[in-house]
Amino acid sequence: MDGFPSFLAVIGHPIGHTLSPVLHRAAFRALGIDASYTAYDVAFERLPEVVRAMRTLEFRGFNVTIPHKTAVIDLLDECTPTALRMGAVNTVYVSDGKWIGDNTDGAGYLLSLGREHGFAVQGKRAVLLGAGGAAMGVADALLGAGLDALWILNRHRAKAEALARRLAQHYQTNIVTGTIAEWPRERVDLLINATPVGMVGFLEGELPVPPDVFHERMLVSDLVYRPLVTPLLAAADKAGAKTSGGLGMLVGQGALAFERWFGVFPSMDVMLAAAMPELDGSASK
């Protein structure tokens, strides 16, 4: 380092419940890096002036969350192919003086599946529930890693179809779209919930799928991490399936962002351990 602390941030609106400062500050401490990471609540119309200010103050980079993930693209110098495919940026870093937008959500998801279960995507069949921003990142990463077949099941069929069309511009994999009523007859190896169903304070206690879809060789993954054990994960576990919670993806995308900024891959265990106390008992948060 050059003797000055590095400035980093996450910008979004609302930003109140973000765990990113906790994750990154833990990694700074563990690696002895002199840096600050702050959460800024930035209203949509203030995005350009805030990004300008971060450039002026020579921030090392920043994370971007809802509602700025797409709008920020026009304010940067370049975007990675991943961010361009998704039309969304979650991480901005500086390279040769240029501000580059990247998206580490999908790669972070794959990292967590590999780390927790040694799950190899190649040749597998997956059902993805939801067709929003999180679903896009996960689908892109799974298809890029050689998934054999993907069903996108969404409450509104048209949105699943729009996502499938977008993915089909980049991948040849067979993608089937529908609603939850059209659960595939074929073997499903991986089920991903990319909807907020089951989340604390939203559709708490609800299952996004009928309870008879699980089987013992299925990996069931929920992107929701409040609560840590969602109704979906509890039901899947009871049926003998393997499970994976949303905190792994959050930490994975954060660790990859950290690597873009500092060129060092931080300890995901350190980041996970820092986040846990914030989420334990999150039923009341």
Q: Where in the sequence numbering do the catalytic residues fall?
A: 69
Window of 22-30, 194-202, 210-218, 255-263 that interacts with ligand NAP by CB under 6 A: 194-202
Using the minimum distance from each CB to ligand NAP, give the nearer residue, 6 or 64.
64
In the complex, what is the shortest distance from the CB of residue 185 to ligand NAP, in angstroms, rounded to a whole number? 22
Q: Does residue 285 touch ligand NAP according to CB under 6 A?
A: no
Using CB under 6 A, which of 28, 151, 214, 225 touches ligand NAP?
A: 225
Q: Does residue 228 touch ligand NAP according to CB under 6 A?
A: no
Sheet order of strands, 149-153 included: 174-178, 149-153, 125-129, 190-193, 219-222, 242-244
Q: Does residue 167 touch ligand NAP according to CB under 6 A?
A: no
In the complex, what is the shortest distance from the CB of residue 96 to ligand NAP, in angstroms, rounded to a whole number? 29
List binders of ligand NAP among 76-135 (CB under 6 A).
130-135
C-alpha 140/C-alpha 107 separation (Å) is 9
Using the minimum distance from each CB to ligand NAP, give the nearer residue, 161 or 237.
161
Q: Does residue 159 touch ligand NAP according to CB under 6 A?
A: yes
Using CB under 6 A, which of 9, 199, 219, 274 touches ligand NAP?
A: 199
Q: What is the DSSP string of the chain?
A: --SSPEEEEEEESS-TT--HHHHHHHHHHHHT--EEEEEEE--GGGHHHHHHHHHHTT-SEEEE-TTSTTGGGGGSSEE-HHHHHHT--SEEEEETTEEEEE--HHHHHHHHHHHHH----TT-EEEEE--SHHHHHHHHHHHHTT-SEEEEE-SSHHHHHHHHHHHHTT--SEEEEE-GGG--SS--SEEEE-S-EE-TTSEET--SS-TT---TT-EEEES--SSSS-HHHHHHHHTT-EEE-THHHHHHHHHHHHHHHHSSPPPHHHHHHHHHHHHTTGGG-
Q: Does residue 26 touch ligand NAP according to CB under 6 A?
A: no
Output the residue with the shortest Cβ distance to ligand NAP.
132
Using CB under 6 A, which of 177, 195, 243, 244 touches ligand NAP?
A: 195
Using CB under 6 A, which of 20, 154, 177, 244 touches ligand NAP?
A: 154
Q: Does residue 13 touch ligand NAP according to CB under 6 A?
A: no
List binders of ligand NAP among 242-271 (CB under 6 A).
246, 249-250, 253
Q: Does residue 166 touch ligand NAP according to CB under 6 A?
A: no
Interacting residue ranges for ligand NAP, rule: CB under 6 A = 130-135, 154-156, 159, 194-197, 199, 203, 223-225, 246, 249-250, 253
